Amino acid sequence: MSLLRQGTWRIIDHSTSGLYVRALQSFAIDDTLCASVGGGQSPAAARAWVHKKTVVMGIQDGRLPFLQKGIDFVQSRGYDCIVRNSGGLAVVLDENVLNLTLVFPEKSGRIGINNGYDAMWELIRHMFRDFEVEIEAGEIVGSYCPGSYDLSIDGKKFAGISQRRIRGGVAVQIYLDVCGDAAERAALIKGFYEQARGNEETKFIYPEVNTAVMASLSELLSANLTVEDVMERFLYSMKSFSSELMSEGLTEEEQPVYESYLVRIEERNEKLGLLG
């Protein structure tokens, strides 16, 4: 049975309120939900979030030889820059990028890594099932933050999926390039790596970004999509996978857990001089 089929889905919509806070908070919220869902204090949760212009680095990016040059480059282009508390590599957020998080409980038996990715892939295919296109999963070489579950149409990537596990909870996150200039986003990350890596050889292989292999959903579907449009599709799809949708923000019990996770990610960012 599909992981998406849950008796109750708890829905949290931060697609508007997220524009007024830093992206750091989103990663702390997702960790909090992971702990709550894993611990049985919450049903499976689905959250939508959007932030203003931000480059989100992965932990591996923090090891780049000239990292400060890369950060300076990003900030000079008007973007905030943070490092998240998980692996993977740099991605771009802005007002035309919708992020979705699905948090599953590992109640009976472990959820395989691919099972989590497959659930998100299934959701995205369901959301856009009215378009006669094939949404494929597989690494798109030359994209930023490449992975085996890059989502693409006709060989062009529009989304990347990551996963995080805490205390019996599995959080699967995706960013969707809904509209706007995907090539410009790719060029930003290309410039970041050129500055932060320089000509140094590194043990870890960072992507050689090719701006031609990334595109927005609007471009790929030949449709004038907005984040609001995709939010409607998301909620409609979630409703079809559940007998009940419950709308609820962080509870009073979750608030101190959130604050502790926020402190952790703030400390990580402080070490790289990214707070203040």
- Say whether 152 sits in a helix, a strand or coil: strand
What pLDDT, on the 0 to 100 scale, is given for residue 69? 97
What pLDDT, on the 0 to 100 scale, is given for residue 276? 65
Residues forming beta bridges with residue 14, ordered by sequence position = 49
Decide if 80 is inside a domain. Answer: yes
Cβ within 8 Å of residue 40, ≥6 positions away: 105
What pLDDT, on the 0 to 100 scale, is given for residue 85? 84
Decide if 176 is inside a domain. Answer: yes
Q: What would the two tokens of residue 134 be? A: 């094939």
Q: At residue 79, what is the residue type?
A: Y
Low-confidence spans in the chain with pLDDT less than 70: 108-109, 276
How many distinct structural domains can be found in the chain?
1
Ramachandran class of 273: left when φ > 0, alpha when ψ lies in -120 to 50, beta otherwise: left
Decide if 1 is inside a domain. Answer: no
Q: In which residue are the tokens 């992975």 written? A: 147
CA 255 and chain centroid, separation: 22
Pairing type for strands 6-14 and 54-57 reads unpaired
pTM listed for this prediction: 0.96
pLDDT of 86-142, one tens digit each? 878 999 999 999 999 999 999 766 888 899 999 999 999 999 999 999 999 999 999
CA angle 129-134-138, nearest 5°? Answer: 120
Q: In which residue are the tokens 């608030």 written? A: 255
Cα gap 166→168, rounded to integer Å: 6
Decide if 215 is inside a domain. Answer: yes
What pLDDT, on the 0 to 100 scale, is given for residue 110? 82
Decide if 160 is inside a domain. Answer: yes
Pairing type for strands 156-166 and 80-83 reads unpaired
Decide if 62 is inside a domain. Answer: yes
DSSP 110: P
What pLDDT, on the 0 to 100 scale, is given for residue 108? 65
Decide if 205 is inside a domain. Answer: yes
Cα gap 252→104, rounded to integer Å: 21
What pLDDT, on the 0 to 100 scale, is given for residue 150? 97
Q: What would the two tokens of residue 197 be? A: 């890596």
Decide if 276 is inside a domain. Answer: no
CATH of the domain at 215: 3.30.930.10
Cα gap 168→216, rounded to integer Å: 34
Domain that holds residue 195: 6-271
DSSP 150: -
What pLDDT, on the 0 to 100 scale, is given for residue 270? 94
Cα gap 64→50, rounded to integer Å: 27
Pairing type for strands 80-83 and 6-14 reads unpaired
Q: At residue 29, what is the residue type?
A: I
The residues annotated with a catalytic role in the active site are 145
